[in-house]
Amino acid sequence: MLSELDELVDRDRDHECGGVGADNVCVRLVGVAQLPTRFGHFRIAAFWNNRDGKDHVAIIKGDVRGGEDVPTRLHSECLTGDALGSLRCDCRDQLESSLSKIGALDRGIVLYLRQEGRGIGLMNKVRAYALQDRGLDTVEANLALGFGDDERDYAIAAHMLRSLEVGSIQLMTNNPNKIKQLEQFGIRVSGRLPHVLPPNPYNQFYLETKAKRSGHYIDFGVRLPEQAEPVVVEGMDEPEVG
């Protein structure tokens, strides 16, 4: 039986548009399949793009085509965190939490963007870790290593949402700047859902650090900004939304 998303795969066979963003990224939806997971029953939609060999995917709960206010999360691939359980970042907590939350809803989307180390790759991420191990931890070094320039994430994400014919989204994020970026690429963002992680033994230190620092959350100077947003654990105040 063909689903409403399979029609989009047919439509995209010869899709070629001017692309999105400074890089003119264009994507095609090339396949959709069922994906039962421990976080709920999803479908997985795979996208080809005209810039590199990275296959980005959307993990989709329920009917999202034509939908309004669809809860949506953007997740950047992080091999060390997502798959290996690294404690140098919170990527696995972020991913599991978004899949659990969206898996429990009627509908929603997690865009899994294959942009390891924010697009610069695993190798540069490990080099950044190595520099941190040697005590170098500056915003500048991270920029030189490719952390911080995330325009492309949003351009690809915007095109993927457009390809899925999503009417408007509620973005699950602690970074209001992400909303602005997506809107610049023509996505209607009808609201923001805070992305709050359940506390666990590994993120306790955020709560402890909060007491010591005047700010509300850990800033990017301390850790690599792998998911382009501050971490918020239950029990912390949310970051100021500007």
Q: Enumerate the active-site residues.
A: 150, 152
- Report the Cα–Cα distance between both ends of the chain, in Å, rounded: 47
**Of 94, 97, 98, 124, the one binding another protein by CB under 8 A:** 124
The least distance separating another protein from the CB of residue 133, rounded to whole angstroms, comes to: 10
Q: Cα–Cα distances in Å, from 88 out to 101, 158, 226, 232?
A: 23, 28, 10, 16
CB of 164 to another protein, least distance (A): 27
Structure token digits, residue 211:
């007491």
Site for another protein, residues 61 to 120, rule: CB under 8 A: 120
Total number of residues shown for the chain? 242
User: Residue 12 Cβ, how far from another protein at the closest point, in Å?
Assistant: 21
Position among 123, 207, 222, 241 found at the interface with another protein (CB under 8 A):
123
User: CA geometry: angle at 83 spanning 80 and 36, to 5°?
Assistant: 155
**Range in contact with another protein (rule: CB under 8 A) among 82-90, 128-136, 204-212, 232-240:** 128-136
CB of 226 to another protein, least distance (A): 15
Report the site for another protein in 132-171 (rule: CB under 8 A): 134, 136, 138-141, 143-146, 148-149
State the SS3 of 107-173. Answer: CEEEEEECCCCCCCCHHHHHHHHHHHHCCCCCHHHHHHCCCCCCHHHHHHHHHHHHHCCCCCEEEEC
Binding region for another protein (CB under 8 A): 120, 123-124, 127, 130-131, 134, 136, 138-141, 143-146, 148-149
